Chains A and B, each alone.
Chain A
């Protein structure tokens, strides 16, 4: 899989119509300078050789350097990824914490006003463009009401906490800098809500559909007949069985969020790899984009692996297929 991904990123970076060497050399460069750069980056070699070098480079942790800033892409990713991870993790967490109970509630009260309201929220969530929702939240909450900051991670005057994990919120917590933590949380609120909304909607939707189906199952009826309380039936028996498709959706949504972070980070000026990729893409700087693509691809694969493992934990039948 990872090898396939490398092929794709390599293909994209080498089918470009423009000449990367000329681009790197700048508009005023003469042919000799372009030639020097071409040799320096190995762009004069045959494609298989270039590909071999590319793969070897990545395996040894070298993702190339940004043509624009001359920074090593790896260092940039190390610097920016924790911010994106924090944003995505918080949003996904919020989406799960709100989405599952709302889906349950909607299923249990099927066809009442609770259900209708929840469904309106869920269809809107998927259809709203995240970047527009972000702008509207900025407009209403940050600019009109002035209760939350517009963007960024901290006020310009604040000093970020000494890095331990490079996750700003965790670092502030570990260093006991409560003021910084509060500031960082205030800055995170709008982006997190924006990114969380589509995921919340789809998690809620899947959970609702599965719960409705599960609640009609025979074993739920027998549990009712045996006099278990409604709450216990819903949370303990039905939810567990409805969780597998919900979990698939959560895994899928993690990937979507990594993609969505590109837009949300642009709106809120959040210094993560999404914004980094956009800036690189706008100035046709490939290596950073390829680095981001690889990093996000690997991330998504890992997330799917975790989801597969969680299936086994939720459903013993998957754990022991031989006895099924």
Chain B
């Protein structure tokens, strides 16, 4: 009886649905805005994105990114002309830190995207198809997860040779298993849900079930993880840069800058300090944003 009523008033039903989803959206925004830390995270991430986007046009000494040499003003302390001081060849540290945001954004995006692109399909296959294939996928994942990511990345970079491309490749290679684990668990849980069973009962194809019923429900945990991973990947790449295996100077990468600046401590303290602050604020932003998103998407942890 109810279905007949609904089928006579399809538009009203559509409006009801819309209204409830805007209500839901407004509730999300309210939850997010109420939390000071989520808002801080969003602001930090937006600032970082803005700096990465317009960096090359706002920096005072654009030529300093490509290793220009001004020996007459090397290792100058922070001043009005050089807010963060200058480095050992006279480059403006402020310019290089600002341009480093763009480098870090690239690194974070590439690693996270590659990892998700490899990990998510594997996780769905392992969780939904299962069987021997699923078993193999999960065993391989476990092996990768059994070695600390940084050590494995070190091994891969050691094999491929230092450099920013190899560092990103290595980190992407060690990053995907986390997504397999996440999506696998989620897929297993969803496969047992009534709505998936119902879809199967009415004869929906496997592909359609995966794309229409399972994947959309995996999106929110993936987004939360991706936000967190942006931060962690940037941190890891900076770590590789610091030990000399990532970006090579004079490329304006934060980790590599800290590494060279280290030789100039303690007298020329600004050299290492400001790139580190850049990393800290960026990673902090992505972590807080990830936390805020989780509070919205995961009602269980909603306090």
Given A123-B37, A262-B151, A296-B151 in contact, is the A135-B276 Cβ separation under 8 Å? yes
Judge if B152 is at the interface, Cβ distance under 8 Å: yes
Judge if B222 is at the interface, Cβ distance under 8 Å: no
Contacts of B284 in A (CB 8 A): 123-124, 127
In the bound assembly, the distance between CA atoms of A28 and B238 in angstroms comes to 34
Contacts of A17 in B (CB 8 A): 160-161
Judge if B3 is at the interface, Cβ distance under 8 Å: no
Distance from A97 Cβ to chain B, minimum over Cβ atoms (Å): 23
Q: Are B272 and A135 in contact (CB under 8 A)?
A: yes
Distance from A84 Cβ to chain B, minimum over Cβ atoms (Å): 11
Given A129-B279, A286-B158 in contact, is the A135-B258 Cβ separation under 8 Å? yes
The dominant DSSP class at the A interface is helix
Judge if B273 is at the interface, Cβ distance under 8 Å: yes
What is the interface of chain A, defined by CB distance below 8 A to chain B? Answer: 1, 4-5, 7-9, 12-13, 15-18, 119, 123-124, 126-132, 135-136, 138-139, 143-144, 209, 212, 255-256, 258-260, 262-263, 266-267, 277-278, 280-282, 284-286, 289-290, 292-293, 296-297, 300-301, 304
The dominant DSSP class at the B interface is helix
Type the 1/0 row for B191-227, where 1 means its CB is closer than 8 Å to any CB of A: 0000000000000000000000000000000000000
In the bound assembly, the distance between CA atoms of A258 and B279 in angstroms comes to 22
Contacts of A1 in B (CB 8 A): 139, 142-143, 146
Q: Name the one of A129, A209, A293, A297 contacting B235, with C-beta atoms under 8 angstroms.
A: A129
Given A131-B242, A135-B262, A281-B245 in contact, is the A293-B143 Cβ separation under 8 Å? no
- Known contacts A4-B139, A263-B150; 5 additional CB pairs below 8 A are A129-B283, A132-B272, A135-B262, A284-B159, A293-B151
- Listed by A's residue number, 16 A-B pairs whose Cβ atoms lie within 8 Å are A1-B139, A4-B140, A8-B147, A8-B152, A16-B160, A18-B161, A123-B288, A124-B280, A129-B283, A135-B276, A139-B266, A259-B149, A281-B243, A282-B243, A284-B161, A292-B155
Q: Name the one of B154, B161, B269 contacting A262, with C-beta atoms under 8 angstroms.
A: B154
Contacts of B146 in A (CB 8 A): 1, 5, 297, 300-301, 304
Q: Are A139 and B269 in contact (CB under 8 A)?
A: yes
Q: Which range contains the number of B residues in contact with the other chain? A: 35 or more
In the bound assembly, the distance between CA atoms of A255 and B146 in angstroms comes to 8
Given A18-B161, A262-B243 in contact, is the A132-B155 Cβ separation under 8 Å? no
Q: Are A144 and B158 in contact (CB under 8 A)?
A: no
Judge if B148 is at the interface, Cβ distance under 8 Å: yes
Contacts of A143 in B (CB 8 A): 265-266
Q: Are B272 and A119 in contact (CB under 8 A)?
A: no
Distance from A284 Cβ to chain B, minimum over Cβ atoms (Å): 6
Q: Are A127 and B265 in contact (CB under 8 A)?
A: no
Contacts of A292 in B (CB 8 A): 151, 155
Contacts of B160 in A (CB 8 A): 16-17
Q: Are A16 and B159 in contact (CB under 8 A)?
A: yes
What is the interface of chain B, defined by CB distance below 8 A to chain A? Answer: 37, 139-140, 142-144, 146-152, 154-162, 231, 235, 238-239, 242-245, 255, 258, 262, 265-266, 269, 272-273, 276, 279-280, 283-284, 287-288, 291, 301, 303
In the bound assembly, the distance between CA atoms of A255 and B287 in angstroms comes to 20
Contacts of B272 in A (CB 8 A): 132, 135, 139
Q: Name the one of B158, B243, B244 contacting A289, with C-beta atoms under 8 angstroms.
A: B158
Q: Are A277 and B154 in contact (CB under 8 A)?
A: yes
Distance from A13 Cβ to chain B, minimum over Cβ atoms (Å): 6
Q: Name the one of B144, B149, B150, B276 contacting A132, with C-beta atoms under 8 angstroms.
A: B276
Contacts of A16 in B (CB 8 A): 159-160
Kindly report which residue of chain B lies nearest to residue A131, judged by CB atoms.
B242
Contacts of B143 in A (CB 8 A): 1, 4-5, 7-8
In the bound assembly, the distance between CA atoms of A24 and B262 in angstroms comes to 31
In the bound assembly, the distance between CA atoms of A66 and B284 in angstroms comes to 39
Distance from A95 Cβ to chain B, minimum over Cβ atoms (Å): 16
Given A127-B231, A259-B150 in contact, is the A282-B244 Cβ separation under 8 Å? yes
